[in-house]
A and B are shown apart, each in its own frame.
Chain A
Amino acid sequence: MAADTVRGARKAGRYVLLIVVAVIVLFPIYAVLLQALKSGPDSLDHPRSLLPVDLTLSTIRAAWTQGNLGRLLLNSVFVSLMVTVGVVITSLLAAYAFAFLEFPFKGPLFIAFLATMLVPAEVTVVINERTADALGWINSYQGLIVPSLASTFGVFLVRQVFLQLPGEMREAASLDGVGHVRFLWEVAAPLSRPTLGALALFTFLGTWNAYLWPSQVIRGDRAHETIQIGLERLKNNDISKINLVTGGLVVAALPIFVMLVVFQRQLVRGLTAGAVKG
């Protein structure tokens, strides 16, 4: 009996703690959301109360037009999709070569390939920006898309999956006269769908969220900005218009929140694939 009360108290205590922490973690999002929905775009006011009443969409609407958010979102979608498709295709091809083909220096080449994973963007962006400039790709879609079309991580991931396919299946197919392209398209890729899905999701998210490279390659060309770099335009207005930023944030963050709710499982699976043993 006493044990039950202790357990009950413990449980209640845990719930209290959970609620407090959740409030703290979610507060910034909630506050911004509220500010976007309660105050007008020109108002210096911030909500006097934290209750969701007296809501208006005027701030979001103003942010949309002023910040050209529609175009920004379109750009982000386009660039992210192109990069995702590109990464999946280049990874499939390269992984196939490393997993199923025999050629001289395959081993050392793969290790060299992997080593490039260590090189962070911060080092390469300096020169890449000049390369893009030399190619005339500043302020263009190519500049945003092409440098990211290959992914060593993607190749590594897909090769792992390919290596787990039974060797006899490839042999049986080869006896049947199945060539490389057909085997890749009709057997290897379909059997690797979960991994390809996780790769696609991560690539899409990574590209959507990217800030450093887009900020270097797009300079002032509003037509080609992605939402991540275009958003800050809203903050460069005078301080009285700060609420526009909140409107923009709601628009910018919403697609990703929705996407992640839909793809929750794949996200967790992908994130934990490398990190957790067992």
Chain B
Amino acid sequence: MKRRLRDVPWALAMLLPSLALIAVWTVYPLVKAIQNGHLRCDVTGTKCRDAGWGRYVDVFKSREFQHALSVSLKLMVLTVPTGLVLGIALAVLADKQLRGIGFFRTAFSSTVATSVAVASLVWFVLLQPQIGVLADLFSGIFPVLKNPGLLNDPGTALFAVALSSIWANLGFTFIIVTAALQSVPRDLYESAYVDGAGSFTRFTNVTIPMIAPTLLFVGVVLTTRALQTYGEVALLTGGGPNPQQSTTTIPYLIYGKNSLIHNDLGTKSAAAVLLFLLSLIFAVVQFRGLEKRVHYGS
């Protein structure tokens, strides 16, 4: 009896810092945001009224949110499959013990060193109409590059943001998939080879199934990042080009300087909670849906 309670004062003291911090900066905000989501505020954000759970449905159905949702989903569709495929392709390409392969592996991993701000600004500079290097090099083929520039054309702005994201995530994806490739036991390949399987067959029947759990993990991370896209938008396009707001993702809707609901606490909170739910749903769906087909060890 005594033994069980003896540790309690120590446990309290040691857990307090983490628990207090998490309580104040993670748990409380979540709860309060869910509560605030009930509020219906006027344009200045000063007068708010409790409108109950129905407010969440209203926000979800609102034009602003639906538009942001479509932007976020489009971004997701653009970046996740591409990111995965490119990551796999690069990892497979560099998965050979050639001389100097270390240099190439480092090169492919390099974008993992970029932050959101750095990566976004790099592409900002490159895509500037008239003077960006890419604009200059390719404007012959793609005139839009020169005027008004990829970032300022409502048709292409989101593609530009996606491009920046895909490039930035390449390093991360490459490193993880490479590690997964290296963990596949070589004798599986040898056995398939002896059975007469060509490289493509070996790839689809040995490589992909063996690294499937890792691909699932990468997929979830990329999806989460796509849904959380804020910095890229803030730095590249400011949510625009306006008035179409072609690149206003849900996070930008919530936090962006140019966002229409910038001062509306109630709507912001509701949108944030909805974003959270969305991320959860996607994560769960990906895990459930693909887990059945994913091979977890022999």
Which residues in A have some Cβ–Cβ distance to B below 8 Å?
A: 11, 14-15, 17-18, 21-22, 25-26, 28-29, 31-32, 35, 44-47, 89-91, 93-94, 96-98, 101-104, 106, 113, 116, 118-128, 131, 146-147, 149-150, 152, 155, 180, 208-209, 211-212, 215-216, 227-229, 231-232, 235, 239, 242, 245-246, 248-249, 252-253, 256-257, 260, 267-268, 271-272, 274-278
Given that A14-B96, A123-B272, A211-B117 are known contacts, is A90 also in contact with B17, CB under 8 Å in the complex?
yes
6 chain-A/chain-B pairs, Cβ below 8 angstroms:
A45-B131, A90-B21, A113-B19, A122-B251, A229-B117, A275-B180
Q: Which residue of B lies closest to A127 (CB)?
A: B29
Let me know if A120 and B224 touch, CB within 8 A: yes
Q: Is the CB of A249 within 8 A of B125?
A: yes
Report the 9 A-B pairs with minimum CB-CB distance, sorted nearest first.
A209-B115, A150-B21, A127-B29, A124-B29, A211-B231, A94-B18, A272-B179, A101-B7, A97-B14
B93 proximity list for chain A (CB < 8 A): 14, 17-18, 21
Q: Which residue of B lies closest to A252 (CB)?
A: B118
Whether B176 and A275, one on each chain, are in contact in the complex, defined by CB atoms closer than 8 angstroms, is yes
Q: Are B17 and A101 in contact (CB under 8 A)?
A: no
A-binding segment of B56-64, B104-112, B189-197:
B104-112
B145 at the interface (CB under 8 A from A): no
Chain A nearest CB, measured from B159 CB (Å): 16
**Given A25-B108, A252-B117: A127 and B175 interface contact (C-beta under 8 Å):** no
State whether B122 touches A44 (Cβ < 8 A): no
Cα distance, A246 to B128, chains bound together (Å): 12
Q: Which residues of B contact A276 (CB under 8 A)?
A: 176, 179-180, 183, 214
Asked if B78 CB lies within 8 Å of chain A CBs, one says: no
Say yes or no: B14 contacts A93, CB within 8 Å. Answer: yes
Q: Is the CB of A245 within 8 A of B125?
A: yes
Given A118-B280, A232-B117, A35:B15 Cβ within 8 A: no
Which residue on B lies nearest to A32, using beta carbons? B122
Q: CB-nearest residue of chain A relative to B184?
A: A278
A13 to chain B, nearest CB (A): 11
- Which residues of B does A touch, CB under 8 Å? 3-5, 7-8, 10-11, 14-15, 17-19, 21-22, 24-30, 32-33, 36, 90, 93-94, 96, 98, 101, 103-104, 107-108, 110-118, 121-126, 128, 131-134, 136, 167, 170, 172, 175-176, 179-180, 183, 213-214, 217-218, 224, 228, 230-231, 234-235, 251, 254-255, 265, 268-269, 272-273, 275-276, 279-280, 296-297
CB distance from A193 to the nearest CB of B (A): 20
Contact of A150 among B10, B18, B133, B268 (CB under 8 A): B18
Q: Among B14, B19, B116, which residue has its beta carbon within 8 angstroms of that of A101?
A: B14
CA gap between A128 and B30 in the complex, in Å:
10
- State whether B116 touches A29 (Cβ < 8 A): no
Give bound CA distance, A146 to B33, whole Å: 20
What is the bound-complex CA distance between A253 and B19, given in angstroms? 34
Indicate if the CB atoms of B108 and A22 lie closer than 8 Å: yes
Q: Which of B116, B122, B123 contacts A211 (CB 8 A)?
A: B116
Q: How far is the CA of A21 from the CA of B110 in the complex (A)?
A: 13
Instruction: List, in ascending order, chain B residues with CB within 8 A of A272's CB.
Output: 175-176, 179-180
Q: Which residue of A lies closest to B232 (CB)?
A: A211
Complex Cα–Cα for A165 and B114 (A) = 36
B118 CB contacts on chain A under 8 angstroms: 228, 231, 249, 252-253
**Other A-B pairs, 20, CB within 8 Å; known A127-B28, A231-B121:** A11-B98, A28-B126, A31-B126, A94-B14, A96-B14, A119-B30, A120-B276, A123-B30, A123-B276, A125-B29, A126-B254, A131-B24, A209-B115, A211-B230, A211-B231, A215-B231, A228-B117, A242-B131, A253-B118, A267-B112
Contact partner, B90, options A21, A212, A216, Cβ 8 Å = A21
How close is B298's CB to chain A, nearest CB, in angstroms? 10
> Given contacts A126-B269, A126-B272, is CB(A35)–CB(B133) below 8 Å?
yes
**Contact among B4, B19, B98, B176 with A94 in the assembled complex (CB-CB below 8 Å):** B19
User: Closest Cβ of chain A: how far from B76's Cβ, in Å?
Assistant: 15
Beyond A118-B280, A119-B276, A232-B117, is A29–B110 a contact (Cβ under 8 Å)?
Answer: yes
Contact A268 B179 (CB under 8 A): yes
Of chain A, the residue at the smallest CB distance from B107 is: A22
Query: Which chain A residues border B176 with CB–CB below 8 Å?
Result: 271-272, 275-276
Q: What B residues does A25 contact at CB under 8 A?
A: 90, 107-108, 110-111, 167, 170
Residue with the highest number of chain A CB atoms closer than 10 Å, among B116, B118, B214: B118
Contact A180–B180 (Cβ < 8 Å): no
Inter-chain contacts of A229 with B (CB < 8 A)? 117
Taking a contact as CB atoms closer than 8 A, the residue among B30, B107, B115 that contacts A124 in the complex is B30
Evaluate contact between B133 and A47: CB separation under 8 angstroms: yes
A271 to B94, CA, bound (A): 18
A28 in contact with B180 given A102-B4, A131-B24, A211-B230 (CB within 8 Å):
no
CB distance from B10 to the nearest CB of A (A): 6
Given contacts A18-B104, A94-B14, A277-B183, contact A46 B115 (CB under 8 A): no
